[in-house]
Amino acid sequence: MELRHLRYFVTVAHEGHITRAAEKLHIQQPPLSQQIRALEREVDAALFVRHPRGVSLTDAGRSFLADAEAILAQAEHAKIRARRTARGEVGRIAVGFTTSAPFHPLVARAIREFRTKRPDVSFVLEESSSGDMVSGLRDGRLDVAFIRSGLVDPEGITVHALLQEDTAAAFPARHPLAKRAHLTLKDLADETFILYRRPDGRGLYDVIIAACSEAGFSPHVGQEAPRIVSTLNLVAAGLGITIVPASLSRLPLEGVTYKPLKGKPALKVPLNLACRRDERSAATLGFIDLVRRLRERGARVRAVITQAGKHFVTPLSFAALTGEKVYEDLFSLTDEAEMGHIELSRDADLIVIAPATADLLAKAAQGRADDQIGRAHV
């Protein structure tokens, strides 16, 4: 029995007439009659009662019709799903990332945009070290991985360079350097460093050591930890300082203060996307392409919310959408030290104000800057 036999049967059942069914199927009436009789012999039951003016279903025919329609619908569904899978519209992507990678806006935005464009593709997320993720790519456990290691391509793995990220120093809250507005790497020469253990953090570990050497000193490593969060916990305990990707400074941790590192030598850490060199999944390839295009566009969104606006949308909602810190306090000394109210407007290429109320338009016309939005556009 083939699917075409089921289609013939269903069409005849719906038309109630073999000649009309043959016309609808674009075949001759005699061959269709022969196929129906062959189907009845295979089923070993009469499916139709023949009349001078057409045919009608027997009890066996009505029972067979329900199953035949279900089989044809399932076959059509399978065909459509296969086509969508081939186009990358459905499927599953296993994404690995180091501890610090999800804090960068590019990662969150890539997953968010991909889910919006392809809602039937599911994500499985796994946090691990760069070495474990490379192993996961090789054995098929992972499809892509955001890693911090360098660009020496492991066998069978392609590494796409996404960006070089600025860094920040993490201090115990009452550390004297935590009060400084600007810091360079040389300012840390006399400090005790807390770094990743080398096997788990080869990329960041080596970058920090090399940058310190370029700055004219060899860092005193007093403690090593297996994960970046562990290094920050040790910083909070007062055991030393550490250096983290700048995006990680959005992670609030009691007892830890972050300060961006400026000046030369510039200390930057890589963010790369790794995948199998022979990857063929359309969904995975589509995700990789989206990440690269987002990086090429380089778009970055910062939200500034007024006190009134917080009654309608929480700052946390904006932070989740943008992947950036939300500026909400007009008199925040921390915000002033990081950007300043002048830099907040100068940093933007485009400012979008929503909603542009009559009150706000009046403030803009008069040059008033008595809230966060006002000082951003004035």
Q: What is the pLDDT of residues 111-154, one digit of tens each?
A: 888 888 888 888 888 888 777 888 899 888 999 999 887 545 56
Exposure of 180 in the CB half-sphere (CA atoms within 13 A)? 17
Q: Over the stretch 330-351, which tens digit does the pLDDT of each residue have? A: 555 444 444 444 455 555 666 7
Distance CA 120, CA 92 (A): 9
**Domains of the chain and CATH, by start:** 3-86 (1.10.10.10), 90-161+270-297 (3.40.190.10), 166-269 (3.40.190.10), 309-377 (no CATH)
If you write DSSP's letter for every residue of 317-378 in order, what string do you get? HHHHHHSSPPB--TT-HHHHHHTHHHHHHHT-S----SS--HHHHHHHHHT---SHHHHHH-
Cross-strand bridge partners of residue 192 = 220
Q: Note the pLDDT of residue 193.
A: 93
Q: Note the pLDDT of residue 302.
A: 66
pLDDT of 49 strictly over 80: yes
Average pLDDT, the chain: 81
- In the three-class reduction of DSSP (H, G, I as helix; E, B as strand; rest coil), residue 152 is classed as coil
pLDDT of 218 strictly over 70: yes
Cα 8 → chain centroid: 47
Mean pLDDT of 163-175: 89
Q: Note the pLDDT of residue 376.
A: 47
Structure tokens at 171: 């201090």
User: Which has the higher per-residue pLDDT, 372 or 160?
Assistant: 160
- In the three-class reduction of DSSP (H, G, I as helix; E, B as strand; rest coil), residue 44 is classed as coil
Q: Note the pLDDT of residue 189.
A: 92
Q: Over the stretch 175-187, which tens digit does the pLDDT of each residue have? A: 998 888 788 999 9
Distance CA 256, CA 248 (A): 12
How far CA 96 is from CA of 93, 99, 100, 145, 358, in Å, comes to 10, 10, 12, 4, 47
